[in-house]
Amino acid sequence: MRLGMVIDLARCVGCYSCTLACKQGNFLPPSIFWNRVLISERGKYPAVTKLIYPVLCNHCKDAACVRVCPTSATTRREDGIVLIDENKCVGCRYCLIACPYQQRYFYSAKARDRGYHSGQGLTAYEKLGRQVYPLQAGVVMKCTLCADRIDGGLERGLKPGIDREATPICVNACPASARYFGDLDNPYSDVSGLISAKKGYQLHPEFGTDPSVYYLSY
C-alpha cells in the first residue's frame, strides 16, 4: 500500500480551505502551515495564466528527509506516510534544509506560548488544542496525511479516501472536491485511475524523490 493524493487543478479555486482546515484540525500555531496554496502567474500580458498550486508534504517514496535524519526520527511507514517521531527528533533541522519542497517547519518553544491574538492571551480554542492535542515544541513538524485519522478509521474497518473519518481533513474540506486520496499501489483505486486517465504528474520530478502527491493539470 502506498497512500497518496491527487489534486485536480481544474477543480481547485484557490480558496485556502485546505490550508485553514488543516490549521484548525491540527491546532497549528501561528506561522506554521502543513498545507499551503502557492499563487503566481505565467506569461506576458494579456496571454497570462494564473497558477494556483495547493502544496503539502509529498510523502516521497525516496524522501530526502528520511535519508538525512541523524536520529531516525523521520521514517516512512509501510503505507507510505512519512512521519516524524517527536520523541526522537532533536530539532537539528537538517531535514528542513534537505526537503526540496520546503514542507517542514520548526516549532520553537517560544512559539508554543504564542497565540493568534498577540498580547491578548490564548482563546478557548487554542487552550483546548494545547491541552488535548498538544504539539511538542523544539522539534520539526509537517503534514502527517492525518495518519491518526487513517489509523483510527482502519481500526474501525473504514476505507481511507472513501470514508470521511479515515480520510485527511484537507480532502474532506475541499469545497471543489479537488482532492482525492487513496492507494497509489492499487491500480484500481480512484487515485491511480485519475493519474493514468488524466496524466497526473508530480511536482519537480527532477528532485528524484518520487512524491506521493500528484496533480492533474488544467
Partner 1 sequence: MGETGRRQEIWEDVWIPSTCGGCYSACAIKVHRVNGVVVGVEGFPESKHGPEGGLCGKGMASIQILYDFNRRNVPLRRTNPKKGLYEEGNWQDISWDQALDEIAERLKKILAEDPRKLLVAASPSPNPAGTVVMQAFGALLGTPNFFFGGAGLHCGSGAHMAAGATHSSWSHCPDWKYGNYIVFFGAGKGFGSGHGAGIMIRQAAEARARGCKTVVFDPICNFSGGKATEWIPLIPGTDGAIALAMTNVILNELNIFDAAYIKTKTNGPYLIRPDMRCLRDSETQKPLVWDIQEGKAKPYDDQTIRDYAILGKYAIEGIDCQPSFQLIRDHVKKYTPEMASEISTVPAKTIRRIATEFANAAQVGSTIVIDGKELPYRPVSAVIFRGGQGHSNSLHTCVAVDRLNQLLGAADVPGGCLGWPPNVMGYPGTGRPVIGPSAGQDGLLVAGQFAFHMPWPLEEPKLPCEMLSLQDLFRLATFSPYPPGEGREELWEKVGIDYRLEMMLSVAGNLPLAVADRDTMADFLLQIPFIVSTDIFPTEFAEGFADIVLPDTCYLETFTIIENVPTFFFSHAPGMDDWHCHIRQPVVPPQYERRYYIDVLTDLADRIGARPQLNTFFNLMARYDEEHQIKIDEKVSWNDVMDRWLKYWFGAEHDLEWFKKNGFITWKKRVEEAYFRPFINTRVPIYLEYMVDQGEKTKELAEGVGIHLNWDQYTPLVDWFPCPPHEADPKYDLYCFSYRDILHTGSSNIGNPLIDEVSHTNPYTYNIVINTDTACRKGLKDGDIIEIESYNGQKVEGPIKTMEGCHPQVIAIAGTAGKWSKGQPIAFGKGVNFDTLLFLDLEHADPTSLNLETSAKVRICKKEGK
Q: What is the DSSP letter of 164?
A: G
Site for partner 1 in 2-41 (CB under 8 A): 8, 10-17, 19-21, 23-25, 27, 30-31, 33, 36-37, 39-41
Q: In which region does residue 31 sit, left (phi positive, over 0), alpha (psi from -120 to 50) or beta (all else)? A: left
User: Which one of residues 72, 109, 113, 117 is an interface residue with partner 1 (CB under 8 A)?
Assistant: 117
Find the part of the chain contacting partner 1 (CB under 8 A) among 46-54, 56-64, 71-79, 205-213.
Answer: 46-54
Task: Name which of 216, 215, 203 is nearest 60 in CA terms.
Answer: 203
Where is 151: in which H helix or E strand?
Answer: helix 147-155
According to the binding rule CB under 8 A, does residue 138 interact with partner 1?
A: no
According to the binding rule CB under 8 A, does residue 133 interact with partner 1?
A: yes
Q: What are phi and psi of 72, to 5 degrees?
A: 55, 30
Site for partner 1 in 56-85 (CB under 8 A): none
Contact 5, 191 (CB under 8 A): yes
Query: CA torsion 162→32→89→111, rounded to 10°?
Result: -140
Sheet holding 179-183, edge to edge: 179-183, 3-8, 213-216
**Among residues 15 and 96, whose Cβ is nearest to partner 1?**
15
**Among residues 42 and 110, whose Cβ is nearest to partner 1?**
42
Q: How many residues bind partner 1 (CB under 8 A)?
A: 57
| Interacting residues toward partner 1 by CB under 8 A | 8, 10-17, 19-21, 23-25, 27, 30-31, 33, 36-37, 39-41, 43-46, 48, 50, 52, 116-118, 120-121, 123-129, 131-134, 148, 164, 172-178, 218
